[in-house]
Amino acid sequence: MKYAGPAAIRELEPMLKDLRTLEGLLEKKPGVFYRRGKAFLHFHEDPDGLFADVRFAGVGDFERFRVSTTAERKRFVALVRIGLR
């Protein structure tokens, strides 16, 4: 699974716009977010679709979420919003 390229990032732009409004996240590159100076969230593309890797606990492994559909993206933003509390 490769990191999301420019075309995938453009496809995710509406969701990225929502993520950019969340306090505590810093987007260092398009689609790559940090929290408290540590990698927090990034995206991958795969033949099976688009995926987000997020590290809610701040340490340890990333958790993977499918973000290929509008519904999946809305659910993911809601999860991130809750995870930042």
The model's pLDDT over 33-85, given as tens digits with 9 standing for 90+, comes to 999 999 999 999 999 999 999 998 766 789 999 999 999 999 999 999 999 88
State the average pLDDT over residues 9-25: 97
Q: How confident is the model at residue 21 (pLDDT cuts 50, 70, 90)?
A: very high
pLDDT of the residue at 26: 96
User: Tokens 């306090």 label which residue?
Assistant: 23
pLDDT of the residue at 6: 95
Domain residue limits, the chain: 2-83
**Residue 9 tokens, joined:** 């990032």
Q: pTM surpassing 0.85? A: yes
| 8 A C-beta contact, residue 22 and residue 33 | no
